A and B are shown apart, each in its own frame.
Chain A
């Protein structure tokens, strides 16, 4: 029996998130094949087979998957699927996107988010307007991405907004080409959200063709989530954010085209300028945030030793894509804010997810009290997972607002000490703010350790503790 094959050239383009239409066709056929194999299992178990089969429909595939899981669990499968939804079409510059807005399918919650209630005609019209505007943006400035989207996306499932975010979206490995997304704030958010989720769909389809990551392995820090992620989750994030980075790179270049050929951005602190210069530089900031994040995620994956040969090729291509953009200049203040946002995320992640054992803290306290250097090899452990947590930061919200609308704040001027008292009384925000600005390596790199020791010592200056830990622990 014939099996699927991809040339290395096609695989490389796919790994870079810009597959040819022919390669997307291979992925679609692979998903249809997967769907048929699952249906054959349902038939063997005596379950109901839909007629017609609709092998290429994402919601039909989802129905098949849920039915098979129910049958295997000895439960009744869901009732027969009734195709419904609203057909949306967007055409611009000779390119057309056709999708089904799915607001009634009882299984749509299986995409991972709480679905919206059935839409009113006015709400459907609003989705059509947003889609048309997003499609116009994509076809004008992101032509290749638009073509991949048109070849992949078939269904949009509106979902309830998340109180902790302004726009939320999801995909499922069981529904290739379906995207669950809350009502977008604007066409640009919609465009980048659809691109992001379609990349997840593509990677799910690649996973049908090839094993990418060996199962197991430790959970790690992901640049875009506050909870620890398995390596497969990190790979998904990196792959999706590769396209997000490309989107913002193009958006930034469209706004400031003369800026693209300067020296590479660094995280060095800005030499001058005011917040007025920041307004309108949101795309540049997003590009500067995600370029190193995707690159470092690819490096983490490659260093894990758990990637298969195709997984290694995928991560290498992503790393190389980001390296190819290393020469793109970013305004120094924007570059610093982006580096600070990434550093704060890492600090927050460590403070939230790593715990220093009581014995270790006691050992460090004893060393301090006896005037000894801190013992070498001090480790923190991962807390048990508390479930999905989106990346969230008040400082990031502040920066986004300044980049979008202008405005002023001490943080944007990098005034020393401001994070300690400003913006919030939240413990995590304060500690992560101090970690970003600290001159002590231990507080920047191991904030969870400094916090644990400082709290245990009591009535000792934080700078003293951080300096003590930095002095020998960090060089060990």
Chain B
């Protein structure tokens, strides 16, 4: 995992920013924030890679 917190809890830190409580205007006001820039860059890279469709479970037996 990425790190151990001060109280000894092991935890995983995501590069994804939590902006779920923001409006678009509030998000725009944060432009330039380093964590936001990294998250945007990662999302952009993810969307430019060809993705495989996850289709094909045959549920009936």
Contact = CB atoms under 8 A, between A and B. Distances in A.
Interface of A: 1-8, 11, 29-30, 32-34, 36-41, 43, 49, 53, 55, 68-69, 111-113, 165-173, 180-181, 184-186, 189-190, 192-193, 196-197, 200, 204, 208-210, 215, 224-225, 229-230, 232-233, 236, 240, 282, 286, 309-310, 313, 388, 390-391, 400, 404
B55 A30 contact: no
B28 to A, nearest CB: 7
A5 B56 contact: no
Given A3-B18, A30-B18, A388 B55 contact: yes
User: What is the interface of chain B mostly: helix, strand, loop, or mixed?
Assistant: mixed
B11 A184 contact: no
29 contacts: A1-B19, A1-B35, A1-B36, A2-B17, A6-B12, A6-B14, A7-B9, A37-B19, A38-B43, A39-B24, A43-B28, A55-B20, A113-B55, A166-B59, A166-B60, A167-B60, A168-B59, A170-B54, A170-B55, A171-B54, A185-B60, A189-B59, A193-B59, A209-B16, A210-B12, A210-B14, A390-B58, A391-B58, A404-B61
Nearest to A179: B57
Contacts of B57: 167-170, 193, 196-197, 224, 240
Contacts of A400: 61
Interface string B44-61: 000101011111111111
Given A37-B19, A112-B55, A391-B58, A30 B14 contact: yes
A313 B1 contact: yes
Contacts of A196: 57, 59
Interface string B12-50: 111111111010100110100101100110010001010
B52 A37 contact: no
A29 B20 CA distance: 6
A215 B28 CA distance: 31
A254 B53 CA distance: 34
Given A1-B17, A8-B10, A208-B16, A230 B1 contact: no
A173 B49 CA distance: 13
Contacts of A171: 54-55
Nearest to A388: B56
Nearest to B52: A233
Given A5-B12, A113-B55, A37 B43 contact: yes
Interface range on chain B: under 10, 10 to 19, 20 to 34, or 35 or more?
35 or more
Given A169-B59, A230-B52, A49 B16 contact: no
Contacts of A230: 52
B12 A3 contact: no
A215 B49 contact: yes
A79 B29 CA distance: 28
Contacts of A36: 19-20, 22, 24, 27
Contacts of A7: 9-12
Q: Ordered nearest first, which 10 A-B pairs have the shortest CB separation? A: A166-B60, A170-B55, A193-B59, A167-B60, A8-B10, A112-B55, A209-B14, A167-B59, A32-B20, A4-B14
Nearest to B38: A3
Contacts of A53: 24
Given A3-B39, A6-B11, A34-B43, 7 more contacts: A41-B40, A111-B55, A168-B58, A172-B54, A209-B16, A210-B14, A224-B57
Which of A37, A171, A200, A209: most chain B Cβ within 10 A? A37
A23 B56 CA distance: 27
Given A167-B60, A189-B61, A236-B54, A49 B24 contact: yes
B6 to A, nearest CB: 13
Which of B15, B40, B59: most chain A Cβ within 10 A? B59
Nearest to B51: A173
Contacts of A229: 52
A29 B22 CA distance: 11
B53 to A, nearest CB: 4
Nearest to A389: B56
Which of A5, A192, A286, A391: most chain B Cβ within 10 A? A5
